Amino acid sequence: LNFQPTQFVTSAATISQLPADDGVEIAFAGRSNAGKSSALNTLTRQNSLARTSKTPGRTQLINVFEVAPGKRLIDLPGYGYAKVPLEVKEKWQRALSEYLQKRESLKGLVVLMDIRHPYREVDQELLHWATDSAIPVLVLLTKADKLKPGARKTTLLQAREAALVFGGDVRVEMFSSLTKIGLPQAETIISDWLNQ
Ligand code: GDP
């Protein structure tokens, strides 16, 4: 699958405003600053498809992109930012878990975690929701360039081991938007999901 023609379709303030639940979609989620926007841009070979930002926590929308007709990428707002009021956080968590449970077209979830801080509490929660709903997950350990090759490999193996706890289909790969480490692996998995 060629990701280059990916185009922005729409922004939604809530999950209920997403496009019709048909075709196939893959959602991207991660803590603020995990490198999600950069990963989306890298995957689609576009410099500014998803907005990268140094101001995490600003009011964020769900951005919808289309790789090809009926094949969507869903950029979920970054989560876990401390300054977001608890009430807003809880509301979003409910919406997110419902999305993972009910969205028929959702065929995979990409969870981005900084390779230096994997499996924070919110990440684990998300992984549980996804595997409970039988949604296949690809964990991308982002900013892999920040670690030396040896440490990178060790972290990857540990993260794969840790993924077993969630019980479902959870794959783990390294990723770097800077050096493109892991890009082919991510592309293969996401293409397979979108092509079903
Ligand atoms: P988001 O909040 O998850 O969308 O994260 P961004 O994509 O905006 O990235 C957050 C910060 O991490 C920015 O300063 C990026 O330049 C940096 N970043 C993102 N990906 C990488 C990467 O692969 N390597 C390195 N070294 N920095 C990265």
Tell me the pLDDT tens digit for each residue of 121-179: 989 999 999 999 999 999 999 999 999 999 999 999 999 999 999 999 999 999 999 99
Nearest atom in ligand 1 to the alpha carbon of residue 31 is 3
Give residues (CB < 6 A) around ligand 1: 30, 32-38, 52-54, 56, 78, 142-143, 145-146, 176-178
d(CA 112, CA 56): 15
Residue 75 has pLDDT above 80, yes or no: yes
Helix/strand/coil for 147: coil
Quick check: is 33 in a domain? Answer: yes
Q: What is the pLDDT of residues 31-52, one digit of tens each?
A: 989 999 999 999 999 988 887 6
The residue whose CA is least distant from atom 18 of ligand 1 is: 35
Quick check: is 108 in a domain? Answer: yes
Ligand 1 center from residue 140 Cα (angstroms) = 13
CATH of the domain at 63: 3.40.50.300
Quick check: is 183 in a domain? Answer: yes
Quick check: is 111 in a domain? Answer: yes
Domain that holds residue 36: 7-194
The residue whose CA is least distant from atom 17 of ligand 1 is: 35
Quick check: is 101 in a domain? Answer: yes
Percent of the residues in the chain that have a pLDDT greater than 90, as a whole number: 76
Nearest atom in ligand 1 to the alpha carbon of residue 36 is 3
Ligand 1 center from residue 39 Cα (angstroms) = 8
- The DSSP H or E segment spanning 56 is none
Q: How many domains does the chain have?
A: 1
Which residues lie across from 8 on neighbouring strands?
65
Quick check: is 1 in a domain? Answer: no
Interface confidence, given as ipTM, is: 0.99
Ligand 1 center from residue 33 Cα (angstroms) = 6
Quick check: is 2 in a domain? Answer: no
The residue whose CA is least distant from atom 21 of ligand 1 is: 143
Quick check: is 22 in a domain? Answer: yes
**Contact partners, residue 129, CB within 8 Å, separation at least 6:** 96, 97, 100, 101
Nearest atom in ligand 1 to the alpha carbon of residue 40 is 7
d(CA 174, CA 71): 24
